[in-house]
């Protein structure tokens, strides 16, 4: 997650730097002037050139084009097609055309990948890009935040559907990724502080900042990261959950409640149990969605027992709504008593 974010942010910085060099040469060739009427080629300092509206506009436009729709929306529109639909279709063709792929192997080919915490990286990258736009003219700010909100509504809806309909399980090994995701928020927060200082020094030339402004902005950014990191390490844990007392629940009680254990999650131990130790029954390997197949053997620490879920039956013929309505209208049109007609219609509908 960290390498992905840093690589993308570094790519954005290089993109803006190239935009700055190209735009500067182009504007000097067109004899463009600053707001005060000075030729751009006569501005000696780097900070003075960057502060001109023409340069700000070009770099802001480059960041805007990088973000929308290329980063905010298109990858997430393509992701379900590339990661879910196409692999499923390709694997279904493979399974259908090869009779040797059956049962377990066919299921493995058709199963989607588990859900992990990689979405942190995508969301945090989008947040960093939105904060960067604050360094440039305000004409792009509303568009950036609006498209960010629109994109993240789609991302949330897509992930919600994927968790409920596609993935077999969630794979969260530990809390390291979550902690580093919280730490990575120091980057957009530090950029906000740097942007506030940068915008405060509006007239760089008259205040004589020069390259000193770059130093001050960078010092504010890295200083914030250090303070933010210190708060995450020592201050935030003071408000966290205290360590709970050791549970009195026995291993047998936990084993009856939790299917995946050290034994059933270890494929080597499962093979050793079957072919070397000759346990009867041997230790079965735990597969997500197949927990009910685990067999109980309390002598080797296997206590989990469950029944399969009731699968939906797709073979039953659906109810013909039109025939039901036709029967009801026929019954009520007969010259019998209303109560008798209603009772007959209800009985007929139940039979159908």
DSSP output for 104-162: HHHHHHHPPPPB-STHHHHHHHHHHHHHHGGGS-GGGHHHHHHHHHHHHHHHHHHHHHH
Calculate mean pLDDT across residues 228-252.
85
pLDDT tens per residue across span 114-167: 888 888 989 999 999 999 999 888 888 999 999 999 999 999 999 999 998 888
Q: What confidence score (pLDDT) does residue 78 get?
A: 93
The ranges assigned to domains in the chain are 2-171, 185-237, 254-300, 321-351
CA 298 from centre of chain: 41
- pLDDT value, residue 209: 58
CA distance 147 to 179: 27
pLDDT level of residue 210 (50, 70, 90 thresholds): low
Terminal C-alpha separation, the chain: 57
Q: How confident is the model at residue 17 (pLDDT cuts 50, 70, 90)?
A: confident
Which ranges constitute the DSSP H helices of the chain? 2-29, 46-51, 53-67, 74-80, 86-97, 103-110, 119-132, 141-165, 176-184, 186-200, 204-207, 212-230, 251-257, 267-275, 321-333, 338-351
pLDDT at 84 over 60: yes
Query: What proportion of the chain, given as a percentage, has pLDDT over 70?
Result: 85
pLDDT for residue 344: 55
**What is the average pLDDT value for the chain, to the nearest integer?**
83
Q: Which two tokens stand for residue 94?
A: 């493979």
**Residue 203 pLDDT:** 54
Asked whether the predicted pLDDT for residue 176 surpasses 60, the reply is: yes
The pLDDT of residue 340 is above 70: no
pLDDT band at residue 20, thresholds of 50, 70 and 90?
Answer: confident
Q: What is the DSSP string of 191-204?
A: HHHHHHHHHH---H
Higher-confidence residue of 59 and 322: namely 59
- For residue 13, the model assigns a pLDDT of 85
Note the pLDDT of residue 222: 94
Taking residue 12's Cβ as centre, other Cβ atoms within 10 Å add up to 19
Before 307, cis peptide (omega within 30)? Answer: no
Span 267-313, pLDDT tens digits? 999 999 999 999 999 999 998 888 889 999 999 999 999 888 776 66
């Amino acid at each position: 997650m960290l390498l992905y974010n840093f690589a993308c942010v570094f790519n954005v910085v290089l993109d803006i730097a190239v935009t700055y060099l190209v735009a500067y040469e182009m504007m000097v060739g067109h004899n463009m002037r600053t707001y005060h009427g000075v030729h751009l080629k006569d501005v000696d300092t780097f900070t003075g050139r960057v502060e001109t509206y023409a340069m700000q506009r070009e770099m802001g436009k480059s960041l805007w084009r990088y973000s929308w729709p290329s980063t905010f929306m298109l990858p997430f529109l393509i992701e379900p097609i590339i990661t879910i639909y196409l692999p499923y279709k390709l694997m279904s063709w493979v399974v259908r055309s090869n009779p040797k792929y059956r049962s377990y192997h066919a299921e493995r080919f058709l199963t989607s990948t588990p859900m992990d915490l990689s979405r942190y990286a995508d969301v945090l990258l989008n947040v960093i890009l939105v904060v960067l736009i604050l360094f440039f003219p305000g004409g792009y700010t509303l568009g950036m935040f609006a498209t960010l909100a629109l994109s993240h509504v789609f991302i949330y809806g897509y992930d919600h559907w994927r968790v409920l309909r596609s993935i077999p399980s969630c794979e969260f090994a530990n809390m390291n990724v979550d902690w580093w995701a919280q730490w990575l928020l120091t980057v957009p927060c530090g950029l906000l502080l740097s942007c506030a200082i940068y915008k405060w020094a509006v007239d760089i030339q008259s205040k004589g900042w020069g390259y000193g402004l770059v130093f001050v902005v960078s010092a504010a950014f890295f200083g914030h990261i250090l303070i933010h990191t210190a708060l995450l390490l020592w201050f935030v844990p003071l408000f966290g959950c205290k360590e709970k007392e050791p549970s009195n629940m026995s291993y047998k009680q936990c084993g009856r409640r939790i299917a995946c254990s050290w034994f059933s999650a270890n494929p080597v131990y499962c093979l050793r149990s079957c072919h070397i130790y000759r346990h009867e029954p041997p230790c079965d390997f735990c597969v997500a969605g197949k927990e009910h197949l685990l067999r109980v053997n309390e002598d080797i620490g296997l206590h989990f027992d469950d029944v399969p879920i009731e699968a939906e039956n797709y073979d039953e013929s659906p109810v013909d709504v039109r025939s039901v309505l036709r029967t009801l209208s026929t019954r009520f049109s007969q010259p019998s008593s209303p109560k008798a007609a209603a009772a007959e219609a209800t009985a007929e509908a139940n039979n159908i």
